[in-house]
Amino acid sequence: MADKDDLQESHNYYVDVPMKGEPFQLRGSNSLDWGMKNRLSKIFRPETGRTVMLAIDHGYFLGPTRGLERIDVTILPLLPYADTLMCTRGILRSTIPPTFTRGVVLRSSGGPSILKELSNEEIAVDIEDAIRLNVAALAVQVFVGGEYETKSIHNLTRLVDMGNRYGIPVLGVTAVGREMVRDAKYMRLATRICAELGASYVKTYYVSEGFETVTASCPVPIVIAGGKKVPELEALKMAYNAIQQGAAGVDMGRNIFQSEAPEAMIQAVGKIVHEGMTPEEAYEVYKTLKRG
């Protein structure tokens, strides 16, 4: 039985203190439900509103690509420096320790391998399994202008419906086909379509001209993919420029795990994203950490 002895009268109601109601800082996300905001806060650091996502989902169509041959050996040491991990459920269950408590963004579309038409994807996970895995978001590839454009957009809208039912955000990943021009005009089109159709945030590629128009015209946060491996300083410059021009972070894969010093590189990227370092300053951090 509950102890009723010595019950204290509550008396301090702070009647003069208005209750705080702070707006949620992420772009376009203020009207979302609590669970959705809580999950987004496992992706975007509340202190900075930005994220360093480590993307290691490439195997879902590429197989064991360079740097991801042994995720247990090469990627696990990077986890302490990632705000969020983007991966498939196969890698999550087989290789990632469940003690990883930051956000997991689950690759949720798939189907064709590199040998086939990549835009011909299907939804590749049940919402129940995503819930079971306690993921922070679902990621789906969207092929605007691609052969199976409508199908991939339908994958996005179905995942958004499923995610909304349970408070799980969806990341729309703009996939740029070889035949598409990678310019601001295309990125504006693709990112805006993802946001209009319900994505909570959108991943795209950085373009050197007019990227600020891409972030301005997309009503939800944008993160950039790293793209193909380039020299470290170049990748840091790209991350810096993207952040300066309105990106809320990076979802970087090859430029981290194919770096000569992946642990140093992910920390250097973090310095740009969260601490506002210039590329040159972050490159010094990279070189110092690389020397060990």
Active site residues: 203
Among candidates 29, 24, 47, which has minimal Cα distance to 273? 47
- Give the shortest CB-72-to-ligand 5RP separation in angstroms: 19
Of the pair 32, 207, the CB lying nearest ligand 5RP is at 207
- Among 37, 254, 271, 274, interactor with ligand 5RP by CB under 6 A: 254
Count the residues of the shown chain that bind ligand 5RP, applying the rule CB under 6 A: 13
Asked if 83 touches ligand 5RP (CB under 6 A), the answer is no
Residue closer to ligand 5RP (CB basis): 26 or 56:
56
Based on the shown chain and the rule CB under 6 A, indicate whether residue 253 belongs to the binding site for ligand 5RP: yes
3-state helix, strand, coil in the chain (%, to 5): 40, 15, 45
The contact mask relative to ligand 5RP for 166-185 (x = CB under 6 A, - = no) is -------x------------
Contact present, 138 and 125 (Cβ < 8 Å): yes
By CB under 6 A, the residues from 187 to 246 that bind ligand 5RP are 225-227
Task: Determine the Cα–Cα distance for residues 31 and 254; give it in Å rounded to an integer.
Answer: 34
SS3 227: coil
> How far is C-alpha 262 from the chain's CA centre?
18
For ligand 5RP, the closer of residues 167 and 227 by Cβ is 227
- AA letter at 90: G
Residue 109: strand, helix, or coil: strand
Residue tagged 């979802």 (tokens): 251
Positions touching ligand 5RP (CB under 6 A) are 55, 57-58, 86, 173, 225-227, 251-255
